[in-house]
Structure 1
């Protein structure tokens, strides 16, 4: 049986993806010998959807307690402060380009980078629309900042990112987080929205076991 691939469709601005982050990181550690994991950017907030945080404030303040209770993550005070202030523009474009650039520079985990992007916003309250704000994050991954910055500002990587958005669209991914486990020509949608680690682990093990048996 060829090595399975797990595609994690997420968006840096997706709160439920922030909540799902501990789950997908644990799954990668558990199954990395059998499954190749990749984060795929979704482009959730682009074009007409770009808006100030103030327009989402009431909805978010209502949704966040349930999200924290269900997932165990906590929104940081710096983020709560910028939510209250409200002027931050919600725009997925630059953080999604950052993921494309990251994947072009290293074979290290894109799952870990996705999580770090979300921590930067949702725990540290840092604006992901500003190029210079990525420096500390990039250096924490031991990547050369000047190279990363140059690529981040290169239109070619913006184009590659928009091509990546089409992967989810072509696969019919309608929301985030979504997870597809792919083995050969067979793809299994194993999460649409938040799902617990125990449920995810059970379904991955069941599919791997079935595929192993079928390949004998």
Structure 2
């Protein structure tokens, strides 16, 4: 069986992706010898969907405790402070461009970068619309800041990012997190929304076993 590829469709502003992050990182660690992993940005909040965080207060006050209980992640104190203040704009564009730039500069895990990117918001409470807030993240992944910041401001990487959004749409991805396992010319949608690590491991093992037999 040729090496499979797993596509993790996520959005930096997706709370359930933040909750799913420990699962997808554990899966990469477990299956990295057999499966190549890649995070794909979804572009969840763009254009006329961009609104201040305060506009989501009612929904998120109900959703966040359930998310924490179900996934085991915890929203950081700094995030809760910006949540209560509510003025930060929810806009996927800049953090999604950051993923595109990262993948152009590094062969390190895009799964790990996606998680670290979300932690900047959901743990450390940073405004991901501001370029200067990416400097510590770039440093953590050994990315030269001058190159990173130049690419973040480039129309080329904005275009590449929107092409990635189109790829997700063409694959029928309309919710996050979603996970597609590709083996040869076959694609298996193995998650649409949050799934536990145990469930994910079971379905991946089943597919790998089936494909080896075939």
Aligned to 2:106: 106
TM-score of the two chains, using structure 1 as the length reference: 0.98
- Equivalences for residues 54-203 of structure 1 within 5 A: 54-203=54-203
Distance apart, 1:100 and its partner CA: 0.2
| Structure 1 outlier segments of 4+, above 4 Å | none
Structure 2: which 5+ residue stretches go unaligned?
none
Q: Distance in 2 between matches of 1:81 and 1:58?
A: 16
Q: Give the distance between the partners of 1:84 and 1:107, measured in 2 at CA.
A: 37
Residues 147-205 of structure 1 show CA distances to partners (whole Å, capped at 9, x for unaligned) of: 10010100000000000001110011110000000011100000000000000000001
Corresponding residue for residue 13 of structure 2: 13
CA offset at residue 107 of structure 1?
0.8
**How far apart are the structure 1 equivalents of 2:142 and 2:107?**
12
2:51 maps to 1:51: yes
Aligned residue number for residue 206 of structure 1? 206
The offset of 1:58, in angstroms, is 1.3
